[in-house]
Amino acid sequence: MDQPTGGKIALRQLGPLPDLDSVVFVRKQNRAFVTGQGPMATSASKGARRFLRAGTWLFLIAGVVILLVVGAMEYFERQQRAELEGSLRTVDAVVVGCDNTATSVPAFRYTAEGKTYEHYPPQTRADSCDKKPWQVIYVAGNPDLWAVAPDSPLPPFEDNIDAIWIVIGPCLFLLAAIYWLFTWFQERRAGKEARLAKEGGLLGAELVQAKYYAGDDGGSTIRLKYTMTPPKGQPVERKRSFSRYDLNHRALPPPGSKLLVLYVDETLHEVL
The candidate with the shortest Cα–Cα distance to 231, out of 41, 26, 19, 1, is 1
Sheet containing 220-228: which strands, arranged edge to edge?
236-242, 220-228, 201-214, 258-265, 268-271
pLDDT of residue 214: 82
- When mean pLDDT is compared across 3-17, 156-170, 172-186, 210-224, the lowest value belongs to 3-17
Give the pLDDT mean for 74-97.
Answer: 88
Give the pLDDT mean for 189-208.
Answer: 87
First to last CA, the chain: 21
In tens, the pLDDT along 255-268 reads 988 999 889 888 88
* For the chain, domain boundaries: 20-43+175-271
pLDDT of residue 178: 92
When pLDDT is cut at 50, 70 and 90, the band that residue 58 belongs to is very high
In tens, the pLDDT along 12-24 reads 888 888 888 888 8
- Can you tell me whether residue 214 is helix, strand or coil? strand
In tens, the pLDDT along 209-234 reads 888 888 766 678 889 999 988 888 78
User: What is the Cα–Cα distance from 227 to 256, expressed in whole angstroms?
Assistant: 10
The candidate with the shortest Cα–Cα distance to 63, out of 166, 170, 161, is 170
Give the pLDDT mean for 138-164.
Answer: 86
